[in-house]
Copies of this chain bind each other. A is one copy, B any other.
Amino acid sequence: MVEASIITIGDELLIGQVVDTNSAWIAQELNKAGIFVKRRVSVGDSWEEIWKALDEESRHANIILITGGLGPTSDDITKPLLCKYFNAQMVVNKAALENVKYLFETIFKRPVTDVNLKQAEVPDVCTVIQNKRGSAPGMWFEKNGNDGEIIFISMPGVPHEMKGMMEEVVPMLKNKFVLPVIIHKTLLTAGIGESALAEKIKDFESALPSTIRLAYLPASGMVRLRLSTSGYEKEEIVSSIQSHFENLKSLVNEYLVTDEDEPLEKKIGKLLMAKNKTMATAESCTGGYIAHLITSHAGASKYFKGSVIGYDNSVKENILMVASQTLQTAGAVSKETVEEMLSGVLKNIRADYAIAVSGIMGPDGGTLEKPIGTVWIAAGNSKSVVTQKLNLRFDRMRNIQLTTVYALNLLRKFIIEMEK
Could you say which of A146-154, A173-181, A190-198, A407-415 contacts chain B?
A190-198
Report B-chain residues with C-beta under 8 Å of the C-beta of A29. 16
Q: How far is A199 from B72 in the complex, measured between Cα atoms in Å?
A: 10
A362's nearest neighbour on chain B, judged by CB, is B298
A 1-22 contacts with B by CB, 8 A = 11-21
Select one of B14, B158, B318 contacting A37, CB under 8 A. B14
Closest chain-B Cβ to A29's Cβ sits at a distance in Å of 8
Report B-chain residues with C-beta under 8 Å of the C-beta of A116. 195
Select one of B13, B23, B294, B397 contacting A16, CB under 8 A. B23
Q: How far is A287 from B419 in the complex, measured between Cα atoms in Å?
A: 26
A115 at the B interface (CB under 8 A): yes
Q: How far is A163 from B315 in the complex, measured between Cα atoms in Å?
A: 35
Closest chain-B Cβ to A157's Cβ sits at a distance in Å of 9
Docked-complex contact B14 and A38, CB < 8 angstroms: yes
Select one of B25, B305, B315 contacting A305, CB under 8 A. B315
**Known contacts A216-B75, A319-B348; A24/B18 CB under 8 A:** yes
A134's nearest neighbour on chain B, judged by CB, is B218
Select one of B217, B288, B304, B393 contacting A17, CB under 8 A. B217
Closest chain-B Cβ to A183's Cβ sits at a distance in Å of 11
Could you say which of A88-96, A121-129, A306-314 contacts chain B?
A306-314
Q: How far is A173 from B400 in the complex, measured between Cα atoms in Å?
A: 32
Closest chain-B Cβ to A109's Cβ sits at a distance in Å of 11
Docked-complex contact B186 and A17, CB < 8 angstroms: yes
Docked-complex contact A27 and B14, CB < 8 angstroms: yes
A160 at the B interface (CB under 8 A): yes
Docked-complex contact B44 and A31, CB < 8 angstroms: no
- Most chain B beta-carbon contacts within 10 A, residue among A186, A315, A397: A315
Q: How far is A39 from B394 in the complex, measured between Cα atoms in Å?
A: 29
Contact with B along A275-316 (1 / 0, CB 8 A): 000100101001111111011101111001111111110110
Docked-complex contact A396 and B298, CB < 8 angstroms: yes
A259 at the B interface (CB under 8 A): no
A417 at the B interface (CB under 8 A): no
Report B-chain residues with C-beta under 8 Å of the C-beta of A45. 215
Docked-complex contact B215 and A12, CB < 8 angstroms: yes
- Most chain B beta-carbon contacts within 10 A, residue among A31, A36, A311: A311
A398 at the B interface (CB under 8 A): yes
**Known contacts A17-B226, A287-B291, A305-B315; A73/B296 CB under 8 A:** no
Docked-complex contact A309 and B307, CB < 8 angstroms: yes
Q: How far is A306 from B312 in the complex, measured between Cα atoms in Å?
A: 6
A184 at the B interface (CB under 8 A): yes
Report B-chain residues with C-beta under 8 Å of the C-beta of A296. 287, 289, 396-397, 400
A287's nearest neighbour on chain B, judged by CB, is B295
**Known contacts A291-B309, A362-B298; A39/B37 CB under 8 A:** no
Docked-complex contact B27 and A15, CB < 8 angstroms: yes
Docked-complex contact A217 and B12, CB < 8 angstroms: yes
Select one of B18, B110, B218 contacting A71, CB under 8 A. B218
Docked-complex contact B39 and A42, CB < 8 angstroms: yes
A296's nearest neighbour on chain B, judged by CB, is B397
Q: How far is A105 from B213 in the complex, measured between Cα atoms in Å?
A: 32
Q: How far is A226 from B73 in the complex, measured between Cα atoms in Å?
A: 13
Docked-complex contact B308 and A306, CB < 8 angstroms: yes
Select one of B23, B113, B363 contacting A199, CB under 8 A. B113
Docked-complex contact B298 and A364, CB < 8 angstroms: yes
Q: How far is A318 from B360 in the complex, measured between Cα atoms in Å?
A: 30
Q: Which 5 A-B pairs have the closest CB atoms?
A: A287-B295, A288-B288, A288-B291, A16-B27, A16-B28
